[in-house]
């Protein structure tokens, strides 16, 4: 049985554990807060049963079979014993990540793949205290990874090709959709594209062009409809009679003109942001009840979309 160790049993650690178990891997879940990993397993069991009931369970195994593949640990050495792949999911703090990878390296063989879930830290920083960095990479999921399959694989400058290929194969086996970055860059690909969308949405609301509610509809009822199935490159390729080059001949100048009218990076911390925060809170109040209900709805909608994508 091939063993994957998941380090950190918070939101992302739990979701990775479920993803890997759905692909038939044996998963050892570790957290440095005593009892935390065991608690996470109780939560996972509940989720697996609910998913099975709703016919949304991933993989070929039953909920009980998948749960049987999971075990929890408060001891790092025991958690790492026998694993060939480590997926780290601890707090997003550089020093915490650097230290845990330093500890992990002392407890595993030199061929064990060391993978981080970091959203915002580049591999050359995360792995700076690791000796053998050729087996290190970031596997950045999108929340929640159980329902959103994309995972960005980002190499450390020293990472060897076979590590990228093996990780790509593991992610594909468990049903994720891996993409490979050829080299590291701040924000990777997902957060860079997301930041561009956030920035222009923010400027349009801030400048009184459109409301918070309506800019969200621009995505959810407009651009997002096709982006769930085809990306911006293919969208352009299909939107002109002779493909991408034809598209750019027709629309490239207009796009460049609009791009030059984009303002500088918005100041999210200025006084003016308060009215944007308030507008959002009027739509969805920030008390736990409203937020939890909306998050549940989001996950249900994502499950429906995942099912639709699977059937096509
Ligand atoms: P979280 O706060 O929910 O969970 C972190 C867990 O790590 C906690 O259970 C904590 O006890 C444990 N932990 C902290 N230090 C540890 C250590 N030294 N050893 C072992 N366990 C330790 O955080 P999260 O949202 O699950 O995020 C985890 C990672 O995933 C972060 O790097 C984050 O950037 C990344 N990520 C998060 C999201 C998201 O939307 N939440 C999306 C993609 C990637």
Give the residue-averaged pLDDT of 67-83. 98
**Interval 88-117: pLDDT, tens:** 999 999 999 999 999 999 999 999 999 999
- Same domain as 163, residue 205: no
1 has pLDDT over 80: no
Note whether residue 207 is domain-resident: yes
> Which residues, 6+ apart, have CB-to-CB distance to 1 below 8 Å?
25, 26
- Say how many C-beta atoms besides its own lie within 10 A of residue 154's C-beta: 25
Model-level ipTM above the cut of 0.95: yes
β-strand pairing of 136-141 with 83-88? unpaired
**CB 128, CB 285: distance < 8 Å:** no
Domain harbouring 40, CATH code:
3.40.50.720
Note whether residue 185 is domain-resident: no
Give the residue-averaged pLDDT of 32-58. 95
Counted domains in the chain = 2
d(CA 50, CA 265): 43
- Same domain as 135, residue 75: yes
Band of pLDDT at residue 4, cut at 50, 70 and 90: very high
54 has pLDDT over 90: no
pLDDT at 57: 92
- Same domain as 196, residue 139: no
- Same domain as 135, residue 15: yes
Which residue CA neighbors atom 16 of ligand 1 most closely? 90
- Same domain as 39, residue 147: yes
Note whether residue 186 is domain-resident: no
Nearest atom in ligand 1 to 141's CA: 43
| Ligand 1 contacts CB of residue 139 (under 6 A) | no
The last residue of one of the domains, among 180, 213, 248, is: 180
294 has pLDDT over 70: yes
- Same domain as 202, residue 157: no
| Ligand 1 contacts CB of residue 8 (under 6 A) | yes
d(CA 7, CA 17): 10
d(CA 149, CA 306): 9
d(CA 236, CA 257): 17
Residue 110: domain span: 3-180
- Same domain as 253, residue 231: yes
Query: Please, what's the b/e burial string for 270-302 (b: 16 or more CB within 10 A of its CB; e: otherwise)?
Result: eeeeeebeeeeeeeeeeeeeeeeeeeeeeeeee
């Amino acid at each position: 049985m091939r063993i994957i160790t998941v380090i950190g049993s918070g939101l992302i650690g739990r979701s990775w554990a479920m993803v890997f178990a759905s692909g038939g891997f044996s998963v050892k879940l570790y957290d440095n807060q005593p009892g935390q990993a065991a608690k996470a397993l109780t939560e996972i069991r509940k989720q697996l049963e609910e998913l099975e009931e709703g016919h949304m369970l991933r993989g070929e195994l039953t909920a009980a079979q998948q749960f049987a593949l999971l075990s929890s640990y408060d001891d790092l050495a025991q958690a790492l014993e026998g694993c060939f792949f480590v997926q780290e999911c601890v707090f997003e703090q550089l020093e915490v990540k650097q230290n845990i990878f330093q500890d992990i390296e002392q407890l595993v063989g030199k061929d064990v793949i060391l993978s981080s879930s970091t959203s915002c830290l580049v591999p050359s920083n995360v792995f700076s205290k690791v000796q053998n960095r050729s087996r290190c990479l970031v596997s950045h999921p999108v929340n929640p990874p159980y329902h959103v399959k994309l995972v960005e694989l980002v190499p450390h400058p020293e990472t060897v090709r076979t590590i990228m290929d093996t990780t790509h194969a593991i992610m594909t086996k468990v049903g994720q959709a891996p993409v490979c970055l050829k080299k590291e860059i701040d924000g990777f690909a997902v957060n860079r594209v997301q930041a561009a969308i956030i920035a222009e949405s923010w400027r349009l609301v801030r400048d009184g062009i459109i409301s918070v509610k309506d800019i969200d509809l621009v995505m959810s009822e407009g651009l997002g409809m096709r982006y769930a199935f085809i990306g911006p490159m293919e969208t352009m390729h299909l939107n002109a009679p002779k493909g991408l080059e034809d598209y750019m001949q027709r629309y490239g100048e207009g796009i460049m003109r609009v791009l030059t009218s984009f303002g500088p990076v918005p100041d999210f911390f200025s006084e003016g942001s308060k009215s944007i925060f308030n507008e959002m809170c009027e739509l969805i109040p920030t008390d736990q009840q409203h937020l939890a209900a909306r998050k549940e709805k989001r996950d249900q909608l994502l499950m429906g979309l995942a099912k639709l994508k699977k059937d096509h």
